[in-house]
Amino acid sequence: MCAAQTPPLAHIFRGTFVHSTWTCPMEVLRDHLLGVSDSGKIVFLEESSQQEKLAKEWCFKPCEIRELSHHEFFMPGLVDTHIHAPQYAFAGSNVDLPLLDWLTKYTFPTEQKFQSTDLAEEVYTRVVRRTLKNGTTTACYFGTIHTDSSLILAEITDKFGQRAFVGKVCMDLNDTVPEYKETTEESVKETERFVSEMLQRNYSRVKPIVTPRFSLSCTETLMSKLGNIAKTHDLHIQSHVSENREEVEAVKSLFPDYKNYTDVYDKNNLLTNKTVMAHGCYLSEEELNIFSERGASIAHCPNSNLSLSSGLLNVLEVLKNKVKIGLGTDVAGGYSYSMLDAIRRAVMVSNVLLINKVNEKSLTLKEVFRLATLGGSQALGLDSAIGNFEVGKEFDALLINPKASDSPIDLFYGDFVGDISEAVIQKFLYLGDDRNIEEVYVGGKQVVPFSSSVSFVNVPTLLHILGLGDRALADLIQEFEWQVAGISSLQKPNSSAMGCTITSSTLFKEEKRIRRRRGERGGGEKEEEEKDEQEKEEKKKKKKKKKKKKKKKKKKKKKKKKKKKKKKHQVFLIGNEFVLSDTCQVIWIASDRNPIQTSFLKRLYSAV
C-alpha cells in the first residue's frame, strides 16, 4: 500500500546517472532508479534492485518507468556563472584586442543599441534558446544599462524555463564611450526600479542580481549605494575583478586610498556571501583570503581569459584558499556559449600553468566537471537546491546520448564495460556538443526539445540571404502550396504569444485581393501573367480574347487535379518574430520595402 500523503511522481527513470559530490568529483551510478515529484524535486535515487520496495512506497507500476538505453546517461545541468547576454550579438568575432580596448571598440557600442527593446527581444531570445540547447540550465546574466531591455531578458528566461540571475548593468563612468553611461542618480533609481519590478513579478527561478559593471566604470558613491540596495533586499551581486593587468593598474590609479582591487568592493559593501566576481586572474593571496572570509565566489572564464590575452587563473590556488568557484563562458570575450568549451579550456589552462612545475598536479577532467555543475551551484548560492542528484534537490538535468544522430562522437566496442563506461562520459565532455544533449530538464520540467518543436524565423538574416523579390516569392508559394511569414516592423502584441492558422489559399487570395485593388501586376503567378497578357492582347486584337480565356480555363482545371490537400500550420507571433510549429521549406519574408506583404501581414495580425 502507498503512503496516504505520497506525492505524485512526474518522472521515473532507470539507467546511468553521473554527478559529483564534495567527496567524489565524478560518481557514476549505473542501473539506478530516480524519481521526480510533480514539484520537480528528486524523491529517490536508488539501485534498481530496490524497485519493488520503491514501487510500494511511491505507488508506481513498471510500465511507468522510462528506461534509458545502455549508452545514454543523465548528468546535472551546467551552471554558467558569468555570461553577457547582449554580447551574444557578436559572439564568435572581435576577440582581437585586449580587454579595455575591446570594451571601447566593440562592447560598449553594441550594448548601447539595446535601448531598442526589439533588438533586445531578438538577441535575448536567441541566447537563452542557444544556451539551454547546449545544456546551460542555470545562467548568471549581465544585461545592459537599459532597465526595460533587462526586464525583457528576465521575461524570456522565465518563458523558456531557464534558471537565471539577471542583472541590469550599472555604470556612471565611461570616458571612452561617454554616450553609454548613466548619471549616479539614474543608475541608482533604475536599479531600484528593476529590482522592484523583478520582485513584483516573483518568477520562481529567475532572480535579480545587483550588477556594477566593474570598478573602472563606477564611482564610489554608486558602488556604495548599490551595496546598500543588495543588503536591503538580500540580493546577489555580480561584477568583475582583476581580469587584466592594465585594468588592475588603472584601478590602483583611480582608487589610490584602497589597498587593492578587492578592497574597493569590500569597503563599498559589494563583497558578500552572495557575490560572484568574474576572472580574478591577478588576485593576491591576501585578496583570496578576503574572498574566503566574506564567502564571495569567483567565476572562472578560461575562454575569455585566453581569447583577450587577459591572464591565467590558477584554480588550484583558489581552492587551496577555500574560495568558492564555478565556471563561466563570459560571452563574448569568450567566443563560445558552450559550457562544455569552458570545461575543456579549464583543464587546458591548468595543464599549461603546471607544465614546468615538478611534483604538482593539474586539475583533472572530473574535478572540472564538478566545477561546472556542483561548483557553479555553490558559487551562486544554489547548492542546496541544484548541482547534483541528491534527494531533495530539484531535477536540473541533461539526458546525454553519445550515439545521437549526426553525433561528433564515435564509440567502439571497448568503450562499454557492461553498462556505460567512464570512457564514454569523457568522450562526451571532450568531443560532445548540443547534438548529444537530447533533453534538458529544469526543476523537473522538460525544456528541451522546445515545446512543439518550435523554430524561429530570423527575418533580417533571411532577407539578406534570400534576397527574393515579389515574383520569386509568389513562385515559391505556388510551388510548395503553403507559406509562413515574418516581419520586422510589426508592432508587438500585448500578450507574449498569439496564434492563428493559415493555409496556402489564404495567402494567395489575400495577395491577389490587394494587388487587384491597387491595380498592380501579379507577383510571378502564371495565372496573373496570362491575365496581363490577355489585357494587352484585348487592346490590340479583340478577336483573340475568347481563345485566351479557354486556354486559361484548361490550365485551371489541370491545376485543380494536381492540387494536394491543403496543409495547415500554426503560427505564433512572439515579439517581432513569427514562430512555426512545423519545419518549413520556404519562408515568405516581409519588410517595410514590400508594402503588399506588409499589408497582408498586418491584416493577418489584426485577425488574430
Give the residue from 382, 427, 360, 381 showing the smallest Cα distance to 400.
427
Tell me how crowded residue 532 is: count the other CB atoms within 10 A of its CB: 12
Tell me how crowded residue 22 is: count the other CB atoms within 10 A of its CB: 12
Contact in structure between 270 and 223 (CB atoms under 8 Å):
yes
- For 9-75+390-449, CATH gives 2.30.40.10
Contact in structure between 454 and 572 (CB atoms under 8 Å):
yes
Please name every residue paired with 577 in a beta bridge, in sequence order, or none if there are none: 574
- What pLDDT shows up at residue 418? 55
Give the residue from 14, 59, 9 showing the smallest Cα distance to 36.
9
- What pLDDT shows up at residue 357? 84
Give the residue from 503, 513, 455, 497 showing the smallest Cα distance to 608.
497
* Mean local confidence (pLDDT), 541-548: 64
Contact in structure between 408 and 435 (CB atoms under 8 Å):
yes
In this structure, of 89-103, 401-415, 463-477, the range with the lowest mean pLDDT score is: 463-477
CATH 3.20.20.140 fits 78-379, yes or no: yes
Give the residue from 388, 384, 385, 391 showing the smallest Cα distance to 36.
391
Contact in structure between 276 and 236 (CB atoms under 8 Å):
yes
Highest averaged pLDDT of the listed ranges 410-424, 445-459, 498-512:
410-424
* Mean local confidence (pLDDT), 424-447: 97
- Nearest 5°: phi and psi at 141? -95, 135
Segment 16-37, tens digit of pLDDT: 999 999 999 999 999 999 999 9
C-alpha cell at position 75:
548528468
List strand residue ranges (DSSP E) for 38-120, in order: 42-47, 66-67, 73-76, 78-84
Q: Quote the CA–CA distance of 124 and 227 in Å, as a whole number.
A: 27
Contact in structure between 195 and 233 (CB atoms under 8 Å):
yes
Q: Identify the H or E element spanning 468.
A: none
Tell me how crowded residue 422 is: count the other CB atoms within 10 A of its CB: 14
Reply yes or no on whether the pLDDT at 153 is more than 60: yes
Helix (H, G, I), strand (E, B) or coil at 524: coil
Q: Quote the CA–CA distance of 298 and 275 in Å, as a whole number.
A: 8
* Mean local confidence (pLDDT), 423-448: 97
Give the residue from 46, 38, 39 showing the smallest Cα distance to 13.
46
- What pLDDT shows up at residue 450? 87
In this structure, of 372-376, 428-432, 521-525, the range with the lowest mean pLDDT score is: 521-525
* Mean local confidence (pLDDT), 207-224: 98
Domain boundaries, the chain: 9-75+390-449, 78-379, 455-525+567-607
Q: Quote the CA–CA distance of 305 and 311 in Å, as a whole number.
A: 5
C-alpha cell at position 41:
524535486
Give the residue from 515, 484, 497 showing the smallest Cα distance to 599.
515
Give the residue from 255, 156, 143, 267 showing the smallest Cα distance to 209.
143
* Mean local confidence (pLDDT), 226-234: 98
Q: Quote the CA–CA distance of 217 and 128 in Å, as a whole number.
A: 27
pLDDT over 70 percentage in the chain: 72
pTM of the complete model: 0.76
Fold agreement (9-75+390-449, 78-379): no
Reply yes or no on whether the pLDDT at 341 is more than 80: yes
- What pLDDT shows up at residue 6? 77
Q: Quote the CA–CA distance of 534 and 537 in Å, as a whole number.
A: 5
- What pLDDT shows up at residue 559? 56
- What pLDDT shows up at residue 581? 36
For residue 10, say if its preceding peptide bond is cis, omega within 30 degrees of 0: no
Q: 592 burial class (0-12, 13-18, 19+ CB within 10 angstroms)?
A: exposed
CA 191, 296, 386, 441: dihedral to nearest 10 degrees? 50
Segment 296-320, tens digit of pLDDT: 999 999 999 999 999 999 999 999 9
Segment 231-274, tens digit of pLDDT: 999 999 999 999 999 999 999 999 999 999 999 999 999 999 99
- What pLDDT shows up at residue 538? 67
Helices 184-201, 147-160: axis angle to 10 degrees equals 30
- Identify the band that residue 587 occupies on the pLDDT scale cut at 50, 70 and 90: very low
Contact in structure between 471 and 556 (CB atoms under 8 Å):
no
- What pLDDT shows up at residue 530? 57
